[in-house]
Every structure is written in structure tokens, then in C-alpha cells.
Amino acid sequence: MERLGWILGLYPLIYQEELILHNEAKSWMKRAKRPPVISIMAENARLLISRPLTYFSVLFQVLFGNFSSLKFLSRAAFVFPKAVWMAHQMSAEKITHIHSHYATHPALAAWIINQLTGIPYGITVHAHDIFVDRSMLSRKLLDADYIIAISEFNKKFLIEHYGQWVAEKIRIIHCGIYPDEYVSELLPIKPSERFELISIGSLRPYKGFSYLLDACSLLKQSGLDFRCRIIGGGELRSSLDAQIKDLDIGDRVDMVGAKNQTEVAELLKTANCYVQPSVITSTGKMEGIPVSLMEAMATCLPSIATAISGIPELVRHGETGWLVSPESPQELADAIMYVRDNPTEAKRCAESGMKFVLEEFNILRTTGLLSDLFREKFKDTNLWK
């Protein structure tokens, strides 16, 4: 957005020093607004004294709107004082629009700032932020100037839950990738060589890696010579390691750990097939459209994914990849064997998938659509140079 001429400020709710940092994020880490606690306390005290009715009215709405969820209530109590400081800071900087990614706490902060300052805001809805806990979501959507959905699935989901009024606010703009970092040629699949599988994602339940491990066990039993590398870190690492041991597939599966964007791009180029075994958890948590799947397809990898959420909008079965049922190790194993045994068909699908990603999920295109929306909505402001 900045390269397209927009003047931007970055206001994180939480500032974290991560072990893995993508190159694109490094300069923004330095520019992120990091207020000291004393500044947050001082601004809350000032607003409380100068506008007590406004202060308590907004606070009451925040607490009441999130009362049904203890998790959201506690986080709302954390977000509120920081949002009060943000409201003051944004007014001082003459910021004229707020864009919040995720409809949970970021959108709550944007809503609070809007109530205190009148600065308009918009929301991008992704996945868990609308599928799991929807505390106060209706109010945040209602007061937003616009809503961006990253998939057609998300748009339909919101309409089903909140009615036709929300459809008028929604624009579908996909997430995207920088294609130049990934575009590659498909590695030839030779019967005499080990078949290389790869999968990427945080080690969390909704990513479905336990089902991929079960599929790997089936593939080993079938006699296939293969290796499966899983890139990512997270809470399930120890349980997945235990599952690998129990299934006796340690000679076929490598848990690679978390990698940065550049390392991921290089690893993708060493694979023959990508697998995205995502599932829907008991709480309703699921993917939006995984960026890692876009990256793999841009690398010209034959890609297999589960048919949930917005994934079928990217992976069109038999055209840009293959879709299987969630929680089905046998279907995963069968699809992998099909890709392995049909290299001509795999190449055709991989090339079609790469072309589709470059056309529809290119971040230069998708950011351009967002820029066009901003110009349309805020043409009378000074946001744009």
C-alpha cells in the first residue's frame, strides 16, 4: 500500500519479538507505534476527566458486548485503554481512516477509536475471527464503512449469520503472495527416485497434520518410497512427534520447524507435491484460504488440499489441484499416490494452478484492489499522496 502512494501508520495491539522474522516485516517492526504504559495511563486519565460520560459509555458497551465470552471480555479490557491512547494519537497525527485486520480485537480497537473520534474504519475478515467467537461482531460490522472478505465463503457465511444488509458492505479481496519469490518449474517425477512431499503451517489442531501423518503411515505400508517434510512450529509439536514414533514413520517424516519466507520459498522448490490437510475443529475453527497453499501452487507444485472453507476457490478439483474430504487419511494417501503415478496429469494441474495464483492471488493485484477501494471511499481525504 505504501508503494502505491498511501501514507501509513502501524498500530499493533501487541508487540512481539518473534524468533522467525520475514524480511518484509523488519522495517515495519521499527515503525510500529509502541507507547509506554505511563502514556496509556495518562491518556485514559485525561479522557476520563475531560469526557467522563463518553469514556464510561464506550467502556460499558465494550464490556457488555463481550460479556458472554470470558476470553473476549478479558482481552477487551486489555484492548480498551490502549485504544484510548491510539484514538488520541491518531487524532494528533490527523489520521483519517483505520483499517483493521481480523474482526476480533483489532476491529474492536478500531470501533473504540471510531466512537471516541469519529474516524471511519474498515475490517478484513479472515477465518477464526468470524467462525469461532462472534462476540460483538454484529456491532463492529454494522458501524464499519466497509468489510473485506478474503473469500466468497466468508461473504456467504456473514450473510447467513447477519442477513442481507451485510452483503452491501462486503468486497471480496483475496490475500496474495509476491510471485517472483516462488515461481519455479515442476521437478520431474522419476519412478526411481524418492517422492518428496511438503506441507506448511503452524502446528495447531485446525491444520490437520495428525491426519497427514496417518496418511504417511498408509503410504509407507503401501511400499512407496517417499519423504514428507512439515514446516512450522506450534503447540502440537510434542504430540505430533509422539505420533510419528507410534506410527514408526520417523524414517519418512521430517519435522523441519519454523522457517522464514525466503527459506520456505527455497524448500518448496525441492518438493514434488504439496499437501494441505486442514480440518474444522470442534469449536468451528478452520482455515480461510491458506497463503502457504498459494505459495506452493506458485512454485508449480501439484497440490492436494481438503475441501473446507474458501480452499475450493483456490484449488479447483482436477483443474488447479485436488480436493479431498477433511479428516480422511485414506483419501489423502490415495490423492498422493495419484499424483505420484500420473506425472503428466500432475504437471498439467500444477501449471494451471500456478497460472491461476499468478492471476488471482498476486499481492500486487490484490493490494491494487484495496487501494482502489480506499480511493473510492476516501477520495476527499489526505491519506493518498
Q: Say whether 199 sits in a helix, a strand or coil.
A: strand
179-360 shares the fold of 23-176+363-377: yes
Tell me how long the chain is: 385
| Four-way CATH pick for 23-176+363-377: 3.40.720, 1.20.272, 1.10.101, 3.40.50 | 3.40.50
Matching residue, cell 484495496: 370
d(CA 248, CA 40): 54
Per-residue pLDDT, 381: 57
**Which residue ranges make up each domain of the chain?**
23-176+363-377, 179-360
Report whether pLDDT(248) > 60. Answer: yes
| Residue 385 in this model has a pLDDT that exceeds 50 | no
Percent of the chain scoring above 90 in pLDDT: 85
Q: Please give the helix or strand (H or E) that residue 329 lies within, else none.
A: helix 329-341
The answer to whether the predicted template modeling score (pTM) of the entire model surpasses 0.85 is yes
Write the CA distances from 114 to 91, 106, 146, 186, 227, integer angstroms: 11, 12, 14, 49, 52
Task: Answer whether 287's CB lies under 8 Å from 310's CB.
Answer: yes
Identify the three-state secondary structure at position 46: helix
Least-confidence region, from 270-284, 329-343, 371-385: 371-385
- pLDDT tens track for 26-48: 888 889 999 999 999 999 999 99
Which superfamily does 179-360 belong to? Glycogen Phosphorylase B; (3.40.50.2000)
Give mean pLDDT, residues 313-317.
Answer: 97
Name which of 58-62, 178-182, 288-292 the model is least confident about.
Answer: 178-182
Does the pLDDT at position 169 exceed 50? yes
Q: Is the pLDDT of residue 184 over 80?
A: no
pLDDT at 382: 53
In one-letter notation, the amino acid at residue 117 is T
Over residues 115-158, the pLDDT tens digits come to 999 999 999 999 999 999 999 999 999 999 999 999 999 999 99
**Which whole number is the average pLDDT over 225-229?**
97
What's the pLDDT at 380?
62
pLDDT at 75 > cutoff 80: yes
